A and B are shown apart, each in its own frame.
Chain A
Amino acid sequence: MSAPLLAAKHIVKRFPGVVALRDVSFDLQPGEIHALCGENGAGKSTLIKLLSGIHPFGNFEGELQVEGQTVEFRGIADAERAGLAVIYQELALVDELTVAENIFLGAEPRRGWLIDWSRVRREARDLLDRFGVALDPDTPCRQLGVGQKQLVEIVKALRKNSRILILDEPTAALSEHEVQVLLTILRDLRSRGIASVYISHKLEEVFALADRITVVRDGATVFTAPAAETNKAEIIRHMVGRELGELFPRRQHLGLGRRDPLLRVQNLSVADPQTRQTRLTEISFEVAPGEVLGIGGLMGAGRTELLMHIFGAWGRRLSGRVELAGAELPPLPPAEVLRRGLALVSEDRRRYGLILDQSIAFNLSLSALRSLTKAGFIDASAESDHNHDLFRSLRVKAPNMDVPVGKLSGGNQQKVVLGKALMTGPKVVFLDEPTRGIDVGAKLELYELINRLTDHGQAVVLVSSELPELIGMSDRILMLHEGWITGEFSRAEATQELLMQAALGHHVEP
């Protein structure tokens, strides 16, 4: 076999406190479509950033080769020069510009000082025709659908004479028809000798398209096989296969006990306020006191939207009813929901959780200030008592509480966000990806905190992308797929294979 077009050899990438990639090796042959599969957080995105030069050479160990030559990408421009182009999930098109303008953005052909607009249009049309994309180059990108934008992105990459396309979850937001158009074009490109790395966890597409499949798990490539010689079951097994070990200290495992549920959700359907499309359909579940309900699903399944909606921070309710501690909870702003005893710890703590410039103390007491006042003024000593209690019991690692939270590590920031929620004395706590991006030690402490909450009879809803965490920490697990519940499992029934099938949209009855 000739030298591969692209090869990664024993790549190791460390972030402060975390090893994102432990050992990644794979290669891409000319004219091949090579699919990379793996769970959220397996290391796929880190790998792409490495290949595209965002994590420059020297920031990782191991070797990258293009056509047998070792390459040292110092930035995106180097990677592009070597013929690599990345089509990202979040598109990099300028909405206000036309298709042609976007295709030539940053490389406009000129005549003297001025842009040669007629050449821009002519060449854009040629490119679109050559790759069979039926779009008018003068259409503003604003008017295109997501799928059409994706095609424009691809044409833009091909304009740079890219020989290697890297597609990161390209079909995540596409309709079925758009998916088919995209697959056809990728196959056509393959026949012209352009190779693709296709990242997706939609196994149907992967098997419909790919020549070879590689599975990434926990930062390492664990399995590679030609698509014809493997099957979905085998791929799923490799995607999830790992030992749970003693990582998850969940003590209490209630069934749906005799006690009245603290939170009851019935036939909840919610629309996205911007697109007006239904994002959550007929969701029903209950959480009992002392119980941890896990909610799993792939990115975009609607988990965060579900929590944010019940908390009053997202979406327009189409139908359904929510009860909190026996009383109806109508759609209310977060301030009201919080007052009634429901707290939320968001998945994006820097955006939704913290006032980064302010101190630990400021953030801890922020949600509970109204209960800490005397005659309208903040009772400074009561406030500092409460803050100190939490600071100590959460074991936030900082010299004192005046340190701005922006300076803390991820795990300690997460403790502050959680502490803020706990100070309001909630009956139900929503935890959205509470352990994302934090180290193992801090994870364990968070799990212990979950145990303590449920020991006190509070209920926890835990959203997580990590199946082992979901199985390890939940008493019951719901799986969502595109806004529907596709499975409900007790802890005893749940296996990673079953959960993954439900996450991929197969209705599963345990």
Chain B
Amino acid sequence: MNNRLGALLAALLAVCLFFVFKVPGFGFVSARNLSLLMVDFSITATLAIGMLLVIIPGHIDLSAGSGVGLIGGISAVLMTNHGWPAGGAMLAGLGAAVVLWWAMGNLIVRERIPAFIITLGGLLVFRGLFWLVIESHTVPISVGGRSNLFAALTTYYLPPIAGYVLAGVIVAVFVFVSLRVRARRLQQGFAITDDEHTFFRLFIAAQLLFLFVIITNQFRGVPLPALILGTVAFSVWLLTQHTPWGRHLYAIGGNEEAALISGIPVERVTIGAFSLMGAIVALTGLMHTAYGGASTTTVGELMELDAVAACVIGGTSLKGGRGSVLGVLFGALIMACLINGLTLMAVPPEIKYIARGAVLIAAVWMDVKLGR
């Protein structure tokens, strides 16, 4: 696992270094661009983490991109056209998504229709529903420049002081938790990594976190989507690594028959994963729509493929049973940097598509080559 993360880190550095020197005037590492990159990355990565939840048990969700458009559209229409308060409109979108994904999960595990088919159907159906909902128009989410909770999703930035305080708290919690884990392992007589190594790792992580806050503060502050991503990533990490439900998810992906015989409620666990995916699709849809400023027919197109790509680049096995939140974050970051850098270099969209595909194929090929 550590080998893989090392390889991902190297790949990420290579991509970044390339753009640092290739983009004129060091535009890639300007505070403004890094802040924008952060928002792009947060949206892609949030969806990819949801995708991870359905890929681990061996399924896939091709409807995620259409879902992003649909849920953003529902909330936008409710708020802008029907005068709902932003919070209520967003909750309605969230609820709709959870119900839809719960239903798809049921069809997949109870009726035994492959997820590929169900969600391929979902991709088309949701896109159609989306266009019906917005009547194929553009529905703005802030009328006359007035701000609201929905629009604030991508326009709110944490004040500089709050950013530092937050980073400080996170570092403190991490130090505290790792000290406690070490103490417990020592007490039980297990091997622990040596002090210097642990310190070094914490130190680097803390440095990166503060560097991130300093840079974003130079532009407007820590963007809200970064916080949302952080919360989603941490929650999903906790769920997958530290709850029975998460273990069961890996077991189902590793060997569904053995999981069933081991007393795992396979259907319930899998439907749960899809329902959670629904909630994450909604969150992504709201952020992505807010980021664009309006709900239009193209919102969310092909996003499901970026999410799958981020998972796969991050070492997730499409057969199920293997994959981690950290890997997916790296995968999404590589994809986001690539797209952002190519855009800054004014590469035409045709070539951007080709480059994305090539990176995806190269990443998987390397994964196969390097073995497990």
Contact = CB atoms under 8 A, between A and B. Distances in A.
B-side interface size class: 20 to 34
A362 B188 CA distance: 19
B242 A333 contact: no
A378 B243 CA distance: 5
B247 A369 contact: yes
B261 A353 contact: yes
A185 interface: no
Using C-beta atoms within 8 Å of the partner chain, give the interface range for chain A: 20 to 34
Interface in A390-413: none
Contacts of A256: none
Contacts of B361: none
B244 A420 contact: no
A247 interface: no
Contacts of A357: 254, 321-322
Contacts of B265: 333, 335
Main secondary structure of the interface of B (DSSP, over half): helix
Interface stretch (A105-113, A230-238, A344-352): A344-352
Contacts of A358: 250-251, 254, 321
Given A355-B254, A377-B242, A378-B242, A366 B262 contact: yes
Contacts of A313: 260-261
Contact of A367 (B250, B262, B321): B262
A76 B251 CA distance: 37
A16 interface: no
Given A370-B244, A378-B242, A355 B258 contact: yes
B259 interface: yes
B264 A335 contact: yes
Nearest to B241: A378
A355 B242 contact: no
Describe A's contact surface by its main secondary structure.
helix
A45 interface: no
Contacts of A299: none
A373 interface: yes
Given A373-B244, A377-B238, A352 B263 contact: no
Nearest to B322: A357
B243 A354 contact: no
B81 interface: no
B127 interface: no
A356 B260 contact: no
A424 B263 contact: yes
A352 B254 CA distance: 11
A334 interface: yes
A352 B259 CA distance: 8
Interface string B234-258: 0000100011100110110011011
Interface in B313-334: 321-322
Given A352-B257, A357-B321, A367 B263 contact: yes
A253 B47 CA distance: 61
Nearest to A311: B261
Contacts of A367: 262-264
Nearest to A355: B254
A356 B261 contact: no
A354 B263 contact: no
Given A333-B260, A355-B251, A373-B244, 12 more contacts: A334-B262, A335-B264, A337-B263, A338-B262, A352-B257, A352-B261, A357-B321, A358-B250, A362-B251, A366-B251, A367-B263, A369-B244
Interface of B: 184, 188, 190, 238, 242-244, 247-248, 250-251, 254-255, 257-265, 321-322
27 contacts: A311-B261, A334-B261, A334-B262, A334-B263, A344-B261, A351-B257, A351-B258, A352-B257, A352-B261, A353-B261, A354-B255, A355-B250, A355-B254, A355-B255, A355-B258, A355-B259, A356-B254, A362-B251, A366-B248, A367-B263, A369-B247, A369-B248, A372-B244, A373-B244, A377-B242, A378-B243, A378-B244
Interchain residue pairs A-B with the least CB separation, the first 9 = A355-B254, A338-B263, A369-B244, A335-B263, A352-B261, A367-B262, A335-B265, A367-B263, A377-B242
